[in-house]
Structure 1
């Protein structure tokens, strides 16, 4: 498992295994956000298995599938609401962690300086420079 922290309360990674859920709980994560759509995985990695594993390990799981190229306002707002309400620290995953990191960045727009968002993402191995205009626009919309 490749845990990539974006803040002290949030980390992402590429696809995890069911066995990784117990490791996440042992490391103190309290919430799991599943951004990888079930259609991208074999049936044994469907979100309901992770929801069950999370519950068995004292975590809360949320399924917010992010289909490639479909970062809608509704998805961003749902992720932001989930992140606001979730017990911290939170862990999210998708195929590579990129989509989860994009949603985190959007949730931070207007709360953090955009340069700090981009820097945090870069430290985790994600290039968010192409999102700068979108982040600025969303931050302005939220203001």
Structure 2
């Protein structure tokens, strides 16, 4: 499992497996968020199995699928509310972790300096500099 910490509230990861869920719980994650649609790709674990593993390990499960390359403002709103209301730390996953990072960044842009967001994302291994115009739009919307 390739966990990439963004900050103390959220980490992201590429696709996790059923066995990874127990490890995530052992590491202290309280909420597991799936930002990947079920059956997006052949061979990925079924979301129902990951949900069962999360619940078996005392974690809260949030299924919030987002289509790759098609993150809407409503998705960002939903993600922001989830982060605010979830027990932390949160582990969010998708195919590569990028979708989760983009959702986090667009939500964070509403209240955090863009350079700080870019730095945190780079520290987690994601270059989201191409999001600058959309982050600026999110900042103006607040």
TM-score, normalised relative to structure 2 = 0.95
What does 1:73-84 align with in structure 2 at a 5 Å threshold? 73-84=73-84
Q: Structure 1 86/135 Cα, relative in aligned 2: closer, same or farther at 3 Å? A: same
Deviation at 1:42, TM superposition (A): 4.3
Q: Which runs of 5+ in 2 are unaligned?
A: none
Deviation at 1:110, TM superposition (A): 2.4
Deviation at 1:112, TM superposition (A): 1.5
CA RMSD of aligned residues (A): 1.2
Counterpart of 1:61 in structure 2 is 61
Asked if 1:25 corresponds to 2:19, the answer is no
Is the CA contact 2:36–2:67 (under 8 Å) kept in the aligned structure 1? yes
Counterpart of 1:130 in structure 2 is 130
Deviation at 1:44, TM superposition (A): 6.7
Q: Please list every run of at least 4 consecutive aligned residues from structure 1 whose deviation after the TM superposition is greater than 4 angstroms.
A: none
Counterpart of 1:12 in structure 2 is 12
Counterpart of 2:50 in structure 1 is 50
Question: Which whole-Å CA distance do the structure 1 matches of 2:63 and 2:28 have between them?
Answer: 20
Higher percent of residues as helix: 1
